[in-house]
Structure 1
């Protein structure tokens, strides 16, 4: 998988090249070898090898028997970012309450480019195992949280997603632009979004938006679990109540709101 946008040239500065190697790791990648990293960044192998050596010495990546992996130092740095940390800390009590009430997977997500990015996840032994994880991402158009960002966001956001193309993740993924637009219209009417096996077979979700003091969607909370077990319409009031309470809390704290969406990648 090449992480560059079609037509982009490989980064030229030393700093940009080093950062591109870090950014080449996808949410599902435990480790990558030199050939994979060079291909994803467009860097010559000797250049990638030299820069990886610098990153190893700095502590950003670690060598493994078969390649490289991201280090704990990056995790520590990520925890110092004030706005995501503040949002996660404010949201956690509401996520835990939803988990105690449902024993399903509970997510906190924000928009990152065309994807929904999971900032936090609360689950337990009774929760259905699913692919999502903290720091992971899924396309916005086939997730409940992502549909909220598309339905409540500016029109050009949906236009970018449609221009990038809609692909099947399961037989239930909505890949026709007209059908997706109608689904987003229903989301606006309901005030919550649903995902019925659109990103992972056997898994459904219901999500509600977190709004800032200007009524802009800045994040979303979802309940996710087995499609045969979840009654999405019955659970919608619970997730909407949690999202509304968190929105009010954030609106009372000027330092925490507005919480900006992550920049387009």
Structure 2
């Protein structure tokens, strides 16, 4: 698709990125006129892109010089991407080993404000196929990962639970807030969480927390399978394997003292 035939929205997005890249290359505050000249686009259009980027928090303007500069928002986004990449790299070997030990599907998930995002899956060959895919967002109340997030993550995560009705995925899904609070408190005390038949009938998951260098919760590792293989009260051997994997990944990420 050429620049001339691209839809206006795509052209605007393209130019907005060009503004960011040019400002990054210049490396110092710059005025609208100078930036427009460097980009080779009209001053009015350059101003419009800067105004939008300022509204979004990617650009700031000095009130005395009226010059613009990039904020640290892009740095934080880049850092988040780097952290996720490191997490995936460090977790993969432990996930494969955990799948080998348990013969169950293993997932790695990160914590977001409105749920738990599946980052990676190592699937097991089983008659019960776990249909969750990387990129899926699991709700806090109905997943083992979500319960771990509520137990060890920021208290602000509870807001996503309280802001909307809890989805009834199966006849067994708990949608009572007081019951969920008690289950999360129990998960915090024992260091892991399960979610038997909360999302799928006949399926359970067992999740443990992964901590970063500052002992902050950054992810969860989970085994999922039929209730026959991942019962509501997991056997000691299964618990030991999951907790060992969580500790190993946490240590690789710089957590010298696992909090659980």
Residue 233, structure 1, aligned to residue 241, structure 2? no
The aligned runs of 1:1-265 (5 Å cut-off) are 14=9, 81-126=81-126, 128-231=128-231, 232-234=233-235, 235-251=238-254
Q: Any conservation in 2 of the 1:91–1:246 contact (CA below 8 Å)?
A: yes
TM-score (norm 2): 0.64
> How many equivalent residue pairs?
180
User: Residue 163 of structure 2: SS of its match in structure 1?
Assistant: helix
Q: Any conservation in 2 of the 1:206–1:224 contact (CA below 8 Å)?
A: yes
In structure 2, stretches of 5+ residues that fail to align are: 1-7, 14-79
Residue 14 of structure 1, CA deviation:
4.4
Instruction: Report the structure number with the largest CA radius of gyration.
Output: 2
User: Residue 120 of structure 1: SS of its match in structure 2?
Assistant: strand
Q: Distance in 2 between matches of 1:81 and 1:129?
A: 30
Q: Any conservation in 2 of the 1:105–1:128 contact (CA below 8 Å)?
A: no
Measured against aligned partners, the alpha-carbon deviations of 1:28-71 in whole angstroms (never above 9, x if no partner) come to xxxxxxxxxxxxxxxxxxxxxxxxxxxxxxxxxxxxxxxxxxxx
TM-score (norm 1): 0.63
In structure 1, stretches of 5+ residues that fail to align are: 1-12, 19-79, 254-265
User: Residue 84 of structure 2: SS of its match in structure 1?
Assistant: helix
Residue 201 of structure 1, CA deviation:
1.2
4+ long deviations beyond 4 Å: none
**Cα RMSD (Å):** 2.4
Q: Any conservation in 1 of the 2:212–2:255 contact (CA below 8 Å)?
A: no
